[in-house]
Amino acid sequence: MPEHTLEAATFDDLELAEAVRQGVREAGFSECTPIQARVLPLALAGHDVAGQAQTGTGKTAAFLIAIFDRLLRHPVPEGRRPNQPRAFILAPTRELAVQIHRDAELLGRHTGLGLGLAYGGTDYEKQRRQLSEGCDILIGTPGRLIDYFKQKVFDLRMVQVMVVDEADRMFDLGFIRDLRYLFRRMPAPDKRLSMLFSATLSYRVMELAYEHMNNPEMVKTEAEQITAENVEERVYYPSNPEKIPLLLGVLQHNHPHRAIIFTNTKHAAEQVEGYLRGNGYKVGLLSGDVPQKKRQRLISQLEAGEFAILVATDVASRGLHIPDVSHIINYQLPQSPEDYVHRIGRTARAGAEGEAISFACEDTAFYLPEIEAYIGHKIPADSVTEDLLIEPKPRARPERKPRPAGDKARGKPGQSNRGKRPEGRGSKQRPRPSGSEAGSQAEGKQSQGQDAGQKASASDANASPDAETKPQGEDPASTKKRRRRRPRRRKPSTESSS
């Protein structure tokens, strides 16, 4: 597997189809990034590529441009049905799949090629219907794609280009068997163009490339430095009680334009989010159990400036392209060095500058040596001074989720259920009176009660002392049932038939 360093300085130096060139021009791209300069000449010439590149270097645009050019220059296979995609892009997370689809819409607007998107968590029938109608380029996550594939919503026999993005993350999430399953349903490696990208070309990633690609060219960018050059890194060593005061002090001293605070667990994320809201910050919370629509809404609100701070678990460390993130704060150091690289890769994207601040606390400081060994340099340390520690105000209470509408057993949101009996089978639901009707009914019940009381007192006065009285509080229905006589047995007829 040869290693290539061929470079092209600008997109004008590349032989691109005119529709692709127009999309690149309208996207504002003129000069190639290092990964684009190395990958595109090889891919446009028909060579398979296994690329190592840090996040935010433009690799998504590299493989999308190669796909569009390839499909426009090569004819549609004979006998292809609409539900047989010509290009197949696999991403490990929903966020990354959505981002690739968004970039494809921008770069391929003039190509006339149809796009399909499939990922878990939402829009099952909508996505299924879209894939049944057909698309040229299918983008998605392995789980949902295999689900539709087994239902024969689409098939992969006409795939001309295959791309795997963030292959190392595929292994981490346990998708490797799914990848192999899909690869075996595609044309042979020498019958298609294949591209694979990963933050690290580890042995397991290269084994996948050797097995399912056609002698791929290995492309590396900035192999001596894994993290982005424009990220200023530093680390603090706080005790656990100092973490929240230090976080407030760091935010106050740095005034981040847009910041993402990473935690290792959902519980820690909720704790940080509560303290920030309690201390006057507008903040969003993104964790693994947040529905996909809400995730997209939170990201849109962050990009629109409705709040400047996002607290997130590692679900947001990969696949999210949020522009102008000025600060990344690792409230907890990640256990995996790769996750550290992907976290701080949310800032300093596309040549911008950013800061990455990490807290090596009592619980996570022992992850730091492995992280530093992986990134190849020592992270500068700053002292925790008194002026950085701000006494926090109490933590804000978590916002309660509204109960689903129409839940009769639980009642409406904000309404007490004390003393209410859940409606069972066969129970009748009576309309609740409102306004004057309720008042008139209440007055009628009161007058009826007075009349009943007068009749009862009169009957008690006329009753004899020896008369049997009905126990108070006993249900009349049960009394009637108790007094019901058993039906007599019908005696057999003694008359003889003549």
pLDDT category of residue 399 using cuts at 50, 70 and 90: low
What the chain holds in terms of domains, given with CATH numbers, is 11-220 (3.40.50.300), 231-388 (3.40.50.300)
What whole-number distance in Å separates Cα of residue 169 and Cα of residue 51? 14
Share above pLDDT 70 across residues of the chain, in percent, rounded to a whole number: 74
Q: What is the dihedral of CA 71, 220, 367, 176, to 10 degrees?
A: 40
**Is 39 a residue whose pLDDT tops 90?**
yes
Largest CA-CA distance found in the chain, in angstroms, rounded: 122
Query: Any residues with CB less than 8 A from the CB of 312 and at least 6 apart, and which?
Result: 260, 261, 262, 263, 269, 285, 286, 287
Angle at which helices 142-150 and 124-133 pack, to 10 degrees?
A: 60
CB 343 within 8 A of CB 273: no
In a 10 Å sphere around its CB, with 0-12 CB exposed, 13-18 middle and 19+ buried, how is residue 59 labelled? buried
Can you give the pLDDT at residue 205? Answer: 86
Coil/strand/helix, residue 475: coil
Query: Any residues with CB less than 8 A from the CB of 460 and at least 6 apart, and which?
Result: none
Query: pLDDT of 414-463, one tens digit each?
Result: 444 444 444 444 444 444 444 444 444 444 444 444 444 444 444 444 44
Out of 95-99, 130-134, 222-226, 251-255, least confident range: 222-226
Can you give the pLDDT at residue 483? Answer: 55
Can you give the pLDDT at residue 162? Answer: 96
**Is 401 a residue whose pLDDT tops 90?**
no
pLDDT category of residue 18 using cuts at 50, 70 and 90: very high
Q: Partners of 236 in the beta sheet? A: 359
Q: Which is higher by pLDDT, 169 or 86?
A: 86
**Other Cβ atoms within 10 Å of 449 Cβ, number:** 10
**Is 68 a residue whose pLDDT tops 90?**
yes
Q: What secondary structure does DSSP assign to 400-462, as a single string? A: PPPPPTT-TTT-STT---TTPPPP-TT---PPPP-THHHHHHHHHHHHHHHHHHHHHHHHHHH
**Is 413 a residue whose pLDDT tops 70?**
no
- Size (the chain), residues: 498
pLDDT category of residue 400 using cuts at 50, 70 and 90: low
Can you give the pLDDT at residue 486? Answer: 62
What whole-number distance in Å separates Cα of residue 196 and Cα of residue 218? 10
Can you give the pLDDT at residue 227? Answer: 60
Q: Which strand (E) or helix (H) includes residue 170?
A: helix 167-172
The sheet carrying 137-140 orders its strands as: 115-118, 137-140, 87-90, 161-164, 193-198, 49-52, 217-220
In a 10 Å sphere around its CB, with 0-12 CB exposed, 13-18 middle and 19+ buried, how is residue 250 labelled? buried
Query: pLDDT of 87-145, one tens digit each?
Result: 999 998 888 898 899 999 999 999 999 999 999 878 899 999 999 999 999 999 999 99
Can you give the pLDDT at residue 482? Answer: 52
Tell me which DSSP letter residue 222 carries. Answer: S
Which residue's entry shows tokens 């000025």? 326
pLDDT category of residue 284 using cuts at 50, 70 and 90: very high
Mean pLDDT calculated for residue range 198-225: 81
**Is 79 a residue whose pLDDT tops 70?**
yes
Average confidence score pLDDT of the chain? 80
**Other Cβ atoms within 10 Å of 193 Cβ, number:** 26
Phi, psi at residue 350, to the nearest 5°? 55, 40
Helices (H), 305-433: 337-344, 368-375
pLDDT category of residue 487 using cuts at 50, 70 and 90: low
Can you give the pLDDT at residue 225? Answer: 53
**Is 325 a residue whose pLDDT tops 60?**
yes
